[in-house]
Structures are given as C-alpha cells and as structure tokens.
Structure 1
Amino acid sequence: MADNTITLVGNLTRDPELRFTTGGKGVASFGIAVGRRYQVNGEWQEQTSYFNIVAWGQMGENAAATFTKGMRVIVSGRLEQREYQNREGEKRTAIEINADEIGPSLRWATASVERTPRAEGGGNAGGGARGGSQSAGGNAGGGDYFPSDEEPF
C-alpha cells in the first residue's frame, strides 16, 4: 500500500469540537485554511484550500483544550475518505486528514508545552498550553494504524 502522508500548515477555521465514542475515546474535529501565493504575469494571486482534520484519543483531547480559531498549526496525517448517511438518508463522502501529529507553528508565535500524565496501560504523551500559547499533541488513534508513542530515549 502506498504511503499517503500529508503535512499542512494553516490557520484553524473553527474551534476544535471534541466528542467521545461510545467506548469513551475522544475525537476532535476542526478545519484549517491553507493559503498559497503565486505570481501570474507579475500580479500576485492568492488561493486558499480548506481541510477537515480529525484527531483521536489524547491528542484530540489536547488539541481541543489547546487550539482556538485563528491559531496557526502544523498537521501531519493521512488523507482518508469516509462514507456516511446524512439526516435525509442520502449517502455522502467526506475527505479528511486523520492526524498523526499536530503542533503549533512557531513562525509568528511562541509556545509553552506541558506534558500530560501518561494514562494507565502505556497511554500517550501529549501537551497542553498555558497563557494562550499553542502546544503539541500526542498520539493518533482510530482506524487500523497506531503509531508507537514510546519515546526514542
């Protein structure tokens, strides 16, 4: 299977919405806008693309507790397509980024990272922010892919 990792840098278009599965696992969803500037015949053009992001588990909970609309973030994850039925019973398709990593962009900001305690059974390492700064998250869950969250040292 081909690798479909995508990395985006953009601004949150809405505050993360945190929900929980029936099993108690957190899942946060939010949107980001990614802008691009380029020249055509000496004139600057702007193009903005919008992406839906899904973050599972402790990382999703950390993202919901940390990020707010307008913050600039870096998201690395997998491009995924999912099908669902809307309220009228019509079949729909959604394309979204299932986040493996989320963090603040430090290009025009600073951040203070605070580690969250590990959950029983190995849990996840994550971050929380203080004083309106942005912080990094932990591990993604959901789907069939579970990256190792063990520290390399």
Structure 2
Amino acid sequence: MNETMVCAVGRVATQPVYREMASGPSARFRLAVTARYWDREKNMWTDGHTNFFTVWANRQLATNTAASLTVGEPVIVQGRLKVRTDVREGQSWTSADIDAVAIGHDLAWGTSAFRRGGKPETAPAPTQSEPNWETPQEDSSAPTGAPAQQPPEPAVLT
C-alpha cells in the first residue's frame, strides 16, 4: 500500500477521549510536536514551531491509550498520516491526523513500567461452530460416568 507512515515524537496535549463505538473502542488525543534546534548566536537550545496532530487509536490500542496517557507526557506515535482540507462557512482549514499503529512513552525523558492489559477484545464469533477435538479427561477419583473436573483457568500476568 502507498500510505504515508510517520513517527512523531512529542507530548500529549489533551487528555485522551475514549469512546465505545459500534466498530469497537476508539480514542483520540492531540499531540504537540515542537522542533528544537541549537541556536549558535545564543549558545543554547531553542524551541521552534509546534505542530499539532490529532492521534486516533482503535481497538485494544484505544483502551490502553486511555488507561496509560495523561497530558504533558512525552510519547512516540507511529501511524498513517492523514491530511485533510475542507471549507466550512467560507473558511478553509487543514487538519493533520495520525491513525496510530503504535504509541509508547518516550523513555529519553523518564521511566515507564509496562503492565500487560486484560484480555484483548474478543474476536467475532465464527459463523460455524468449531468441532470439539479434545477427548474428555478421565478422573480416577470421580465415580464412573461422572464428568471430569476442568483444569483451573491459567493465571493472567499483570
């Protein structure tokens, strides 16, 4: 595909807004990306122009984004760049959105502790039922004909 993939390094400018949509979870926030350069005349780092992007996250990335990010945090966002131009009420405007594929804290500015999320959103139910390929286990302590005990659910790592 001929999509424009970008990697933007900046700070979270607005609190992420989380919504449950018919197509699944969605979250958005504004990302401020400020260019910095070395000013030889002043002999110091200087802030340049700030670009603002609306970052869109979907499905499990949306859930984790809403739970993990707050205003002011340094982040790295990778995704597809979408630039839109429109005319409303006689005024032309342009917006730059990033349809995020990955979002993470920028560890050049601090530390972050990774926590595995809960179960990812469930996949849609198959149209045909899957046959049960497993043979029921025999439990020697159970009376003959009694159903075998099910093994405990695996522990979820957090």
Would the TM-score normalized by the shorter structure come out above 0.5? yes
In 2 relative to 1, CA 83–50 (structure 1 residues): closer, same or farther, beyond 3 Å?
A: closer
Q: Which residue of 1 aligns with 2:75?
A: 73
Look up the SS of the partner of 1:121 in the other structure.
Answer: coil
**Alpha-carbon shift at residue 91 of structure 1 (Å):** 8.8
TM-score of the superposed pair, with normalisation by structure 2:
0.64
Cα distance in 2 for residues equivalent to 1:14 and 1:104: 15
**Alpha-carbon shift at residue 97 of structure 1 (Å):** 0.5
Does 1:97 find its partner at 2:98?
yes
Cα distance in 2 for residues equivalent to 1:118 and 1:46: 40
Higher Rg: 2
User: How many residues were matched structurally?
Assistant: 120
Cα distance in 1 for residues equivalent to 2:85 and 2:24: 21
**Alpha-carbon shift at residue 92 of structure 1 (Å):** 6.3
The CA deviation string for residues 40-94 of structure 1, in whole angstroms up to 9 with x for no partner, is 56245422221111111110111011100011111000001357897x7x99653
Q: Which residue of 1 aligns with 2:134?
A: none
In 2 relative to 1, CA 83–37 (structure 1 residues): closer, same or farther, beyond 3 Å?
A: closer
TM-score of the superposed pair, with normalisation by structure 1:
0.66
Q: Which residue of 1 aligns with 2:18?
A: 18
Is contact 2:60-2:121 (8 Å) kept? no
In 2 relative to 1, CA 109–39 (structure 1 residues): closer, same or farther, beyond 3 Å?
A: closer
Cα distance in 2 for residues equivalent to 1:31 and 1:46: 19
In 2 relative to 1, CA 20–33 (structure 1 residues): closer, same or farther, beyond 3 Å?
A: same
In 2 relative to 1, CA 13–109 (structure 1 residues): closer, same or farther, beyond 3 Å?
A: same
Q: Which residue of 2 aligns with 1:29?
A: 28
Cα distance in 2 for residues equivalent to 1:27 and 1:85: 26
Q: Which moved more, 1:23-32 or 1:55-64?
A: 23-32
The CA deviation string for residues 10-68 of structure 1, in whole angstroms up to 9 with x for no partner, is 111111011122x1511111011112222456245422221111111110111011100
Q: Which residue of 1 aligns with 2:121?
A: 119
Runs of 5+ consecutive residues of structure 2 not aligned to the other structure: 125-158
